[in-house]
């Protein structure tokens, strides 16, 4: 990943409302959420949500698809994964004991959500 892409993605997440929307999308999984449901869950006006989603989408952290009359938004897991890998690249000068807890926590969080357990 290029540093400019990483900066764009980090910048997209560096605002309270956008981070909350992104986390809601991550929790929703591949099914995603309709824009109206997402706005209600985030407690924001539709026009505010639209601006937030535009920034997240352009940063490669969210995507949309049409389902009838609804637009469904979901997290772009590839974009999120690429950012996390970029941040962890060359981590800890090869000292696994520093990075392993982060990897284990991420794996546990993913497994808990798949099993319906609170994360």
Domain map (residue ranges) of the chain: 3-78, 92-119
Q: What is the pLDDT of residue 118?
A: 42
As a whole number of Å, the end-to-end CA separation of the chain is 28
Q: What is the pLDDT of residue 111?
A: 59
Question: Which CATH architecture best describes the domain 3-78?
Answer: Orthogonal Bundle (1.10)
To the question of pTM greater than 0.85 for the whole model, the response is no
Q: What is the pLDDT of residue 68?
A: 92
Q: What is the pLDDT of residue 112?
A: 62
Structure tokens at 11: 């910048």
What digits encode the pLDDT tens for the residues 55-109?
Answer: 999 999 999 999 999 999 999 999 999 998 888 877 777 777 777 887 788 777 7
Mean pLDDT, the chain, as a whole number?
88
Q: Indicate if the pLDDT at residue 30 is higher than 60.
A: yes
């Amino acid at each position: 990943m290029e540093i400019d892409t990483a900066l764009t993605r980090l910048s997209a997440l560096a605002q309270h409302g956008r981070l909350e929307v992104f986390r809601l999308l991550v929790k929703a999984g591949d099914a995603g959420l309709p824009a109206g449901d997402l706005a209600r869950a985030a407690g924001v006006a539709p026009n505010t949500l639209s601006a937030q989603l535009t920034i997240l989408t352009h940063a490669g952290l969210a995507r949309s698809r049409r389902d009838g009359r609804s637009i469904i938004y979901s997290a772009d897991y590839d974009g999120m994964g690429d950012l996390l890998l970029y941040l962890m690249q060359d981590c800890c000068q090869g000292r696994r004991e520093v990075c392993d807890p982060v990897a284990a926590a991420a794996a546990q969080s993913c497994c808990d959500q798949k099993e319906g357990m609170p994360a």
